[in-house]
Every structure is written in structure tokens, then in C-alpha cells.
Structure 1
Amino acid sequence: MLETIYLANPRGFCAGVKYAISFVETVYAENPEAPLYVRKEIVHNQRVVEDMKKRGIQFIDELSEAPNGATVIFSAHGVSPEVVNEAQSRKMRIGDATCPLVTRVHRKARNIKDSHHIIYIGHKGHDEAIGTMGEANMFLVETEEDVESLKDRIKEDKPLTYLMQTTLSVKDTKSIIKKIEEVFPFVEHPQKDDICYATTERQEAVSSMIESVDAMLVIGSANSSNSVRLLQLAQKTKPASYRITDKQDVNPEHIKTNGIKILGITAGASSPQILVDEIVQELLVHFPEAKVSLYPDSREDTMNFKLPKEKLTQY
């Protein structure tokens, strides 16, 4: 029987997600009558996307789905220069809600694209990876085996370095970087890695509490990379840990079957606090005696990014 629910902190929305959502909401408030399009999911959370759709904000996969001259916002994950060029050729008004930390990685890629070979540590097909890799010719790796396969493809004719998808697991990237060092001893290490502060802090919060709980419940979408990483991290120590999207996914049988008395809860960086509240309330319907509290010694995420004064660029 579930006795205790600990809430991890920090959890949920990160500064980049807040920035992207606020960007869309501000542009919408300033132009409530004009059609507003968002390319891709603004963040990887269906609840956030559906709430925006209810207000009339339209989501598209490609710019071709919006008319010439339309107002389109790029998602938090960023886009490639090819997408920007298409917007320019079609005279669109563009708002760039890319997380500033992702933008930093794009800038690094542009600065070294001619001088270096670049290995990109990321997940094939992820929106952030697609956007970043559009900035330069890069070699994508997801595993140590991928690094090994590059042995005969990267020459020492110019320096080699690497960039990372911001939402990766710190531990996973360490093993891949170690493999890069082994295969390419001439590699130049960046002054600072690209994994965002929020990803690191949320993973550290799970690591700090994992020995005090029987399992972790991760709240986040299946296509949220940082949510998946949180689950993988938790399951290494507590195999009964699991992920759900919303309160409809609450399964008391999983808790009973696995003998979970102390449950830790965290949420991916694109999961709103309202989802956490709803899921906790649903758990209490099934386990009314459970006590809910913040995990001791947790801390708040106080990072924020300011929106630009000029939010739209007319191409």
C-alpha cells in the first residue's frame, strides 16, 4: 500500500520551455485576430499543445502548410537554416521561440563548421537534432558503436570536436565522449558541454532521492527526450519506475503489484505543474492515506530567459 509520495525538485517546466510558451502566448495576445501558426510542437507535451489549439493556434509540421506571408513561430527545439530560408522566400513573419541554450549550440556549430570536423551526440529524428545538424556537416552518433563506425570516415586533415543535444543524459554522454577520445585521440573538447542546466538538475534530483524511494514516476510524453532519460536513469536503480502522460494513465495495480510504499514523482522539462497536481490527486483517490511532500533538501529552479522586445521578423 502506498504510504508516501515525494515530489522531486526541480521538476517540470524549465526556463527554455517557459520562454517558448510565453513567446507564443505573447504573440497571440498581441495579434488575437490574425491566424497564428507554430511549426512542430512548441514543446513536447500534448497538454500544452492541446490548450493552445483550443485558443485557435494552429500547429503545422512544415511551412508549406501555412500560406505565404503567414505568421509562424518556430518551436523551442530550433530549426535549420534551410527552414529559415524557406520562410524568407515566402515573405513570412517569423517568431523564433528556440530555447536560448539550443540557440547557443547552433551558434557554436556555425562558428566551427568550416574549421572542424564535428561529431553530434544526439538522437536521430529528434527536432532539436535536425535543426542543429542543419547548421553544418556533422556525424551523428547515438551509441559507442556509432563512434567506432566513424574510424575510417574522419581524417586528421583538420581538427575534430563534438556538440551535444541539450536534453541527453549526463552519464550516457560521458561514455560516448570516452569512446570518442579512444577512437580519435586528437579530438578537441569543448570548453563547456551542451547539456542544459535543467536536464542536469532534474537528473541530479532523481539521483539524490532514488535510494529513498521504491520507484520513480516520471510525468512526460513519450517523445520528450529528457523525460525518457529521467526514466532510464531511475530504472537503472529502481526497475519498477515508470512513465505516464496524464492522470488517465494512473495505474494503481502497478503500485500494488510492485509493492511500492514510497513513490517519488518527477516531471520532464516540458510537463506543466497542473499535470503533476492532477496525477497526485488521482493517486490519492486510490491511496487516500498516502502523505505528499517535497523531497527533503530539494531546491527550486529559478532560471528565466527574457523575451526579446521584437518578437517577429518580417521576411
Structure 2
Amino acid sequence: MLEKIYLANPRGFCAGVKYAISYVEQVQSSSEEQIYVRKEIVHNRRVVEDMRKRGIKFINELNEAPDGATVVFSAHGVSPEVVEEAKRRNMKIGDATCPLVTRVHRKARRYKDSHQIIYIGHQGHDEAIGTTGEAQMFLVESPEDVQNLVGKLDISKPITYLMQTTLSVADTKLVVEKIAELFPSVEHPAKDDICYATTERQEAVSSMMESIDAMMVIGADNSSNSLRLLQLAQKSKPSSFKVSSLEELNKDYIANSEIKILGITAGASTPQILVDEIISKLIQFYPEAVLDLFPGSREDSMSFKLPANLLM
């Protein structure tokens, strides 16, 4: 029987997600035209569906919108090729890319003519596609992938690496160590690219592991940072699980796993309203359970200011 529920903090929306959502809302409120968003604005079905209800149209590629349309790029960023296509078609462009992802793009452009770039990220992820479009890069996901770069990189020329912002800190550390082992001359960035929100949410989960029986991660299946939170929790507590909607909450699983103390966290693109709904349902299942913020938790205080000119 579930007796205690601990909430991790920080959890849920990060500054970059808040920035992207506010960006689209501001563009829509200041324009009478149809607003198109290329790809999911953030990786969360609830957020996307709420925007659809307000008249926002989501497209996978620019050819799904007419020439001259108003198009906003998602929080994950796009390649220069996509930007150029939008300009050729005289589209009004809004860029809701998370500023921390934009920072990685700037680094890629700075290194593209002087360094061989290794990119640590997940093949096919929207952020990885956008970043690797900035320059020629060698994408790796694991130490084994790094091993395969031997003979492909010219060790007589400068080498550096960049990272997808939503990766697991622990897993990335293993990849970086392998890069350093095989390419001792590699130039390590002054600061890694994993965003503060990803790091802080992972640290919050790690700090709870000795005090709980399992962690419930609330997040979408295509949310990289949510999946990393789940992987991190399952290393210490194998019964940890993820739900992406209220319908996925399974009372039987909690009972069958003999979970008495449950931790709850949420991916950086998970809206608070979804977290609240799932917690309310959980309390309905277990009215005797005590809900509390995990001791030592702290708030996420970072924020990003929207640009004065939203469209270009």
C-alpha cells in the first residue's frame, strides 16, 4: 500500500520550454494570420494538443505550409538549410529555439572550418538533426561509437566535441572519457552543453534514490530528458516507471511492485497541469498517502527573455 509520495524539485517545465511556448503564444496574439509550427514545439502531446485547440497548426516540413506563411521553429532548433528554405519561400520566420540549443549551434559554426567535430547525441532527435546541420560532424551515442571513429578522424588536425543538451550526465561522461582516451589531443570545451535544467532534474532524482522505493517520471515517449530521468532512476530502483498521460497511470503496477514510498518527477517539457492531474488521481487511489516535497528541494529560477522582434 502506497504510504508516501515525494515530489522532486525542480521538475517539469524548464526555462527553454517556457520560452518556446510563450514565443508561439506571443506570435499568435500579435498576428491575425494562421500560425504554423514546424515539428512539435516541445516534446509533449498535451502541450501540442492544447495549442492545436487554440488554432495553431503543426507541420513536419515547410512544404506543408503555403509560401509567405508565418512559421515558428520549435524549441529543438533547425538546420541552416531549413532557414534558407523558409526565406526562399518568403515566409515570416519565428525562432522559438531554446537559447541553450542556440548556443550549441553558435559553437558549431565557430568550429566548422577549424576543427573536426564529434557530436554526442541521439540519431534522429530533432535537436541533433538541427545541430548537425550546422557543420560536418561525427555523431556518436556510446563509447562503442567513439571506437568506430578510429581511422576516420585525422589526429594531426584539431578535434573537439559538442553535446545534445538533454543527455544523461553520467552516460555522456563515459562517452567523453572514451573520446579523451582514443584522441588525447581533443580540445575539451570550457563548459559542456548539457543544459542546467537537465542536470538539475537528474541531480534531484539521484538525491531521492535512497529514500524511495520507485520513481514515477511524467513525460512523453519522445522526450529525451524524460527517458534519461527514467533510465537514471531504474539504475537504483528497477521498479521505477514512466507515464505520459493520466490514462497510463496504473494502480495495479504500484500495488504489485509493493511500492510504499513513491517519488515523482517530470520531464522538462511536461506541463504542470498534467502533473497535477496525475497526482490527484494517485491520491484518489491512495487517500491515506502523504504528499510532500522532497526535503532539500529547490526551485528552478532561470528564465529567458523573448526577443523584441519575434518574426524575421
SS in 2 for 1:293: strand
The alignment covers a number of residue pairs equal to: 312
Distance 1:288 1:156 in 2: 62
Aligned partner of 2:145 in structure 1 is 146
1:46-75 C-alpha deviation (Å, 9 max, x unpaired): 000000000110000000000000000000
The TM-score, its normalising length taken from structure 1, stands at 0.98
Aligned partner of 2:278 in structure 1 is 279
Distance 1:6 1:17 in 2: 24
Amino acid at match of 1:16: G
Distance 2:293 2:28 in 1: 35
Distance 2:292 2:272 in 1: 15
Please list every run of at least 4 consecutive aligned residues from structure 1 whose deviation after the TM superposition is greater than 4 angstroms.
Answer: none
Amino acid at match of 1:23: Y
Aligned partner of 1:103 in structure 2 is 102
Which residues in structure 2 correspond to 1:38-117 (within 5 Å)?
38-117=37-116
1:264-315 C-alpha deviation (Å, 9 max, x unpaired): 00000000111110000111111111111110110000100000000000xx
> Which runs of no fewer than 5 residues in structure 2 stay unpaired?
none
Aligned partner of 1:26 in structure 2 is 26
Distance 1:242 1:267 in 2: 12
Distance 1:286 1:13 in 2: 26
Give the superposition deviation at 1:210.
1.0
Amino acid at match of 1:225: S
Question: What's the C-alpha RMSD, in Å, of the aligned pairs?
Answer: 0.5
**Identical residues among aligned pairs (%):** 71
Distance 2:194 2:305 in 1: 20
Query: Residue 105 of structure 2 contacts residue 134 of structure 2 at CA under 8 Å; is this kept in 1?
Result: yes
Give the superposition deviation at 1:34.
1.0
Distance 1:118 1:63 in 2: 28
Amino acid at match of 2:8: A
The TM-score, its normalising length taken from structure 2, stands at 0.99
SS in 2 for 1:139: strand
Give the superposition deviation at 1:156.
2.1
Aligned partner of 2:17 in structure 1 is 17
Which residues in structure 2 correspond to 1:1-315 (within 5 Å)?
1-31=1-31, 33-313=32-312
SS in 2 for 1:44: coil
Amino acid at match of 1:196: C
SS in 2 for 1:222: coil
Amino acid at match of 2:300: D
Amino acid at match of 1:132: T
1:18-50 C-alpha deviation (Å, 9 max, x unpaired): 00000000111111x310000000000000000
1:110-154 C-alpha deviation (Å, 9 max, x unpaired): 001000000000000000000000000000000111000000100
